[in-house]
Amino acid sequence: MPLLSVRGSLLLPLLLAVVAGCDAPPNNGGAVATPEAPPLPSAGGDAAGRPVAEGFTQTDSGLRYKILAEGSDKKPTAANSVVANYRGWLDGGSQFDAGQAVPFPLNGVIGGWTEGLQLIGEGGKIELEIPPKLGYGADGFPPDIPPNAWLHFEVELLKVQ
């Protein structure tokens, strides 16, 4: 299902809030990396004891990532809009979303995306493992995302605007 379709969309509620000028910040648990000081890796698993997968780095917020391609020196900030290809799946491999050349404001998506995409440059590719607090939390996003779900994404950053 396309990410920005009206039915079943995962980013549409956040994008509509941004377009409508809503004052509410995205549900990101307050964890957004600044471009001047990207989050530092931390060792080990999270408080729940979930181990960090081999090849992944964990930030202080709990986001886990693996850079597949660095991209250029042109990295986005949370204030930028970007264009990306992506695929999202749950633990166990069940795909819940995908999109090609999808434009969106980086501060209008889940916190795991806002933080993670600032780690790569234009043309880069990253795999994200997003804990619930940086995704859809205890509410989930029915029917596609269950409560407290870890989200997995592979994202290719095509353009920083």
Give every CB contact of residue 36 below 8 A, 6+ residues apart in sequence. Answer: none
Assess contact for 136 and 43: CB atoms under 8 A. no
Specify the pLDDT at position 49: 81
The domain that holds 18 is classified in CATH as 3.10.50.40
Q: Is 133 inside any structural domain?
A: yes
Handedness of CA 138, 5, 96, 101 (dihedral sign): negative
Nearest residue to 14 via CA among 112, 151, 143: 112
Q: Is 96 exposed, middle or buried (0-12, 13-18, 19+ CB in 10 A)?
A: buried
State pLDDT tens for residues 97-107: 999 999 999 99
Specify the DSSP element, H or E, that contains 111.
helix 111-117
Residue 15 has φ and ψ, to the nearest 5°, of -65, -40
Assess contact for 26 and 109: CB atoms under 8 A. yes
Mean per-residue pLDDT, 100-120: 98
Range of the domain at 64: 12-33+54-160
Q: Is 81 inside any structural domain?
A: yes
Q: Is 48 inside any structural domain?
A: no
Specify the pLDDT at position 43: 40
Q: How far is CA 142 from CA 9, 128, 130, in A?
A: 10, 21, 17
Chain CA centroid to CA 158, Å: 15
Q: Is 101 inside any structural domain?
A: yes
Specify the pLDDT at position 60: 96
Q: Is 94 inside any structural domain?
A: yes
Specify the pLDDT at position 38: 41
**Higher per-residue confidence, 6 vs 117:** 117
Mean per-residue pLDDT, 68-85: 98
pLDDT(137) > 70: yes
pLDDT(94) > 60: yes
Assess contact for 83 and 102: CB atoms under 8 A. yes
Q: Is 59 inside any structural domain?
A: yes
Looking at the structure of the chain, the number of domains it has is 1
